[in-house]
Structure 1
Amino acid sequence: MRFLICDLGNTRTKIALYNDDLLIKQAILNENNPDAFARLICSSGFNHTDAAIVSSVSHDTTSFVERITAGRVITLTEHTLLPLINEYKTPSTLGNDRIAGAIGGAALYPGNDILVIDLGTAITYDFVEKGKIYKGGGISPGINMRFKSLNAFTMRLPLLTPSAEAPLIGTTTSGAIGSGVMNGCRAEVSGIIEAYRLLYPKIKIILTGGDLIYFEKMLKNNIFANPNLIIWGLKQILTYNLEK
């Protein structure tokens, strides 16, 4: 079967096409715009699918996807059936990307404790116990949000963009901002990982998200990268619901 996976996030839209479990095509839009989404679907061969899932933080695109899909279309909400137990106390406020990433991680490493770290607009930490129970996690500002905050809430600090390399000691104001934001984010992520490892020594750590490229040096000691983790998790949710 051909499965269409649509993930419309805060600042980026990702579309993927699976033939059963094989990812055969994907595309990314650096915006969340329903018209651009529809044009991409129709012009890039993502139509004529057997089933689909839509995850969107804002726009309702389900009706459009239903018109181009032969079978069932799932819209991910707090009421969607999930292939794990969700113990989050406020499921109505749980982001689709967070639960999808957690499910994707649990599917990759069945039966294991999993920590998924999504490095995007926000940095999110999501923990799955023994591959079966979603417990929750943490949320902190992402890299670009930190740069923008320093610029917006001060009078003289410039707006910078992320860099893969940042000196520990910034010898200019721009260098100091880059050091504080980039090294601060990496130190935060490293510290959170170590805190989880103290509690769950065999935990699997999976990094994903648009800012993953700035954390590549951390990929060691059972820390894995999977840029398509959320898409894979959405695929798991779709097939789970099709079986019900």
Structure 2
Amino acid sequence: MLLAIDAGNTNVKFALVEASGDIVQRWRIATDARRTADEYAVWLDQLLKMEGYARRDVETVVISTVVPRALHNLQLLASKYFGVDAVVAGKPPLSWGIALKVDEPQQVGSDRIVNAIAAQAIEPDSDKIVISFGTATTVDHVDSEGAYCGGIIAPGINLSLDALVAAAAKLPRIGIEAPASTSVIGRTTESQMLIGIYWGYVAMMEGLLQRMKAQIGKPVTVIATGGLAILFQQHGHLFDKIDPDLTLRGIATLYRNNIK
């Protein structure tokens, strides 16, 4: 099996992927560039055993990371504990296999490119808009041929909420959730904060999607990923499809495309 690793700014996600492309298990751990290969191995070995797997079941390790400092220890994890040399998205021998139609292709995060690859596999005949809810919220255009055509970067929901609480002394720390009603007039401090974050993001996404669709000028499929996608779909109905595993699927698809 293939072990796909997505090292993001907030979490490192691991997935066991069968040759068919099906994800059979997934786990995540908070991103810490100082976490050693040994620490990863102890944690991951226990999780594999709990699900009836062993390290010997992993034949390939593929890493996508936007945290360069985390890469070395993940590569060491692969070589020391799985007995394989990890392959890294965006580095030889892996070729992206899609066009990057932007001014600075070398600056595009690997997570956004593998999302584009996964989106093309899901909807190969239409243009796509991919929304990813992470530390940052990204909105990307993928054309009908699978090319990455650029997009938008906005502060992530939790990042915005943390900044608000940090800068305003009297505001309490709250968790993000869907408001109980569609009212946008809050009667408590907490409800006003929740309305501002939740409906503010819905309005932002509605506006950005409207502008992006108008600029693309043809029908598009909107695909969302990230843990908060389902939350915003409850009231907004913004997305045509939601795939929490889009990035992990993209990593696996990237590898399969390169070994054909």
2:43 to 23, 34, 40: 40
Q: Which amino acid aligns with 2:43?
A: L
Residue 222 of structure 1, CA deviation: 6.3
Residue 231 (structure 1) aligned with residue 239 (structure 2): no
Per mean C-alpha deviation after superposition, the further-off stretch among 85-94 and 182-191 is: 85-94
| Aligned counterpart, 2:199 | 183
SS of alignment partner, residue 85 of structure 1: coil
Give the conservation status (yes or no) of the 8 Å contact 2:138–2:151: yes
Distance 1:242 1:69 in 2: 20
Relative to structure 1, the CA distance from residue 64 to residue 71 in structure 2 (aligned partners, 3 Å threshold; closer, same or farther) is closer
Distance 1:125 1:151 in 2: 25
Distance 1:23 1:192 in 2: 32
SS of alignment partner, residue 146 of structure 1: helix
Q: Which amino acid aligns with 2:55?
A: N
Instruction: Tell me the percent identity.
Output: 26
Distance 1:133 1:39 in 2: 39
How do 1:166-177 residues align onto structure 2 when only pairs under 5 Å count?
A: 167-177=183-193
Provide structure 1 residue ranges, at least 5 long, that are not aligned to the other structure. none
Give the conservation status (yes or no) of the 8 Å contact 1:115–1:125: yes
Give the conservation status (yes or no) of the 8 Å contact 1:12–1:28: no
Write the deviation string for residues 73-117 of structure 1: whole angstroms up to 9, x where unpaired. 311236641121112322333222111111110111113211110
| Aligned counterpart, 1:193 | 209
Residue 140 of structure 1, CA deviation: 0.6
| Aligned counterpart, 2:60 | 51
SS of alignment partner, residue 3 of structure 2: strand
How do 1:82-161 residues align onto structure 2 when only pairs under 5 Å count?
A: 82-161=96-175
Give the conservation status (yes or no) of the 8 Å contact 1:163–1:214: yes
Residue 71 of structure 1, CA deviation: 5.6
Distance 1:115 1:68 in 2: 38
Residue 210 of structure 1, CA deviation: 2.0
Q: Which amino acid aligns with 1:41?
A: L
More helix by share: 2
TM-score by length of 2: 0.83
Q: Which amino acid aligns with 1:51?
A: T
Distance 1:210 1:52 in 2: 24
Relative to structure 1, the CA distance from residue 37 to residue 222 in structure 2 (aligned partners, 3 Å threshold; closer, same or farther) is same
Computed over aligned residues only, the root mean square deviation of the Cα atoms, in angstroms, reads 2.3
Distance 1:191 1:231 in 2: 28
Residue 221 of structure 1, CA deviation: 7.6
Per mean C-alpha deviation after superposition, the further-off stretch among 199-208 and 46-55 is: 46-55
Give the conservation status (yes or no) of the 8 Å contact 1:51–1:70: no
Distance 1:116 1:22 in 2: 20
Give the conservation status (yes or no) of the 8 Å contact 2:21–2:252: no
Give the conservation status (yes or no) of the 8 Å contact 1:78–1:92: no
Residue 147 of structure 1, CA deviation: 0.9
Distance 2:25 2:137 in 1: 23
Q: How many positions carry a matched residue from both structures?
A: 242
Relative to structure 1, the CA distance from residue 201 to residue 97 in structure 2 (aligned partners, 3 Å threshold; closer, same or farther) is same
Per mean C-alpha deviation after superposition, the further-off stretch among 68-77 and 142-151 is: 68-77
Give the conservation status (yes or no) of the 8 Å contact 2:127–2:141: yes
Write the deviation string for residues 40-63 of structure 1: whole angstroms up to 9, x where unpaired. 332213622222211222412112
Provide structure 2 residue ranges, at least 5 long, that are not aligned to the other structure. none
